[in-house]
Amino acid sequence: MLQSMTGFGRCDTIMDGFHIQIQMKSVNHRYSDFTIKTPRYYNFLEDKLRTLAMESIARGKVEIVLSLEREETDDKVITLDRPVAEGYLNALRQLTADGLNDDLTLSSMTAFHDIFRVEHQEIDEEQMQTLVAKAFDLALSEFLEMRRTEGARLELSLREHLDALLNEVQAVETLSPQTVEAYRERLTRKLEEVLSSTTIDEGRILTEAAIFADKVAVDEETVRLRSHVKAFLSAMETDKPIGKKLDFIVQEMNRETNTIGSKANDLAVSAHVVEMKSIIEKIREQIQNIE
């Protein structure tokens, strides 16, 4: 089953007193590129999220955003930095000793913010990694489901394009022998005109026709093209990331089609080659979104 590189997943849950939100989204990318955003106080979780993502996502530009808060409001502890407070107090008392009015009060001391220290409760990093991993699994499940749904839509469209391509190949295979026969008839008429006689060396005609047939023969190319289509269909049956493999197969399809086009000596065949190139280009554009 194909899997698209476009996806979105979200988890919003409460676990062990923590409100955890994880949002992940991805778009096309030639390789894998992960951007992880976490609250500053929980930066240690970036590596954990990156590892989890790399285990399940092979390709795509992926952004993961973590929001994490304690449910309780007492996660911060405010303490007094007594040496700093006493330093301010002694300095202010010195000013009063120098003749300034003494309007020193407790509220005036609060203007000096650095006499207080705000400390967070100690974090159990192992516990947080476990909680975030559980939340990530929930977001990942939704994310992968969207990728599979989009992949199924792409697969249906690709199969339609491949059927259309095979129809064009069949048309070329049918027209190719007719092109040789038409050439033989044209050659016969031309020789008759030049020699002004109906007595023509049939052996010469057959030889010239054989040479022409060898030049315009596309049997090998159409056989290989059918083989590439078969390989493409087979690759779509696997559950592994196959975007790069499909891209290679499409390059080979295009190569064979170009060769057929260079050998084409007939307007009808050339028209089918143009249509084949158009179909292959549509396939190439769509597989850019396959993981």
- Side chain identity at residue 252, one-letter code: E
How far, in Å, are 13, 90, 182, 204, 282 from residue 81 at the CA level?
A: 37, 15, 101, 110, 69
What pTM value is reported for the model?
0.70
Q: How many helices (H) and strands (E) does the chain have?
A: 8, 6
With beta carbons less than 8 A apart as the criterion, state whether 291 and 144 touch.
Answer: no
| pLDDT, position 180 | 55
| pLDDT, position 154 | 95
Q: Rounded to whole angstroms, how far apart are CA atoms 253 and 232?
A: 10
In 100-174 the beta strands, taken as DSSP E runs, fall at 116-120
| pLDDT, position 208 | 54
Enter the DSSP assignment of 22: E
| pLDDT, position 278 | 97
| pLDDT, position 40 | 86
| pLDDT, position 86 | 79
Q: What is the dihedral of CA 243, 226, 171, 211, to 10 degrees?
A: 130
Query: Helices 243-263 and 219-235: crossing angle, nearest 10°?
Result: 160
pLDDT, block means (10 residues), the chain with 291 residues: 92 92 94 93 93 94 93 66 79 70 68 71 84 96 96 96 96 75 55 54 56 61 93 91 94 93 80 95 95 91
Domains of the chain: 7-70+124-147 (3.30.230.10), 76-120 (no CATH), 151-287 (1.20.140)
| pLDDT, position 248 | 96
| pLDDT, position 199 | 58
| pLDDT, position 195 | 54
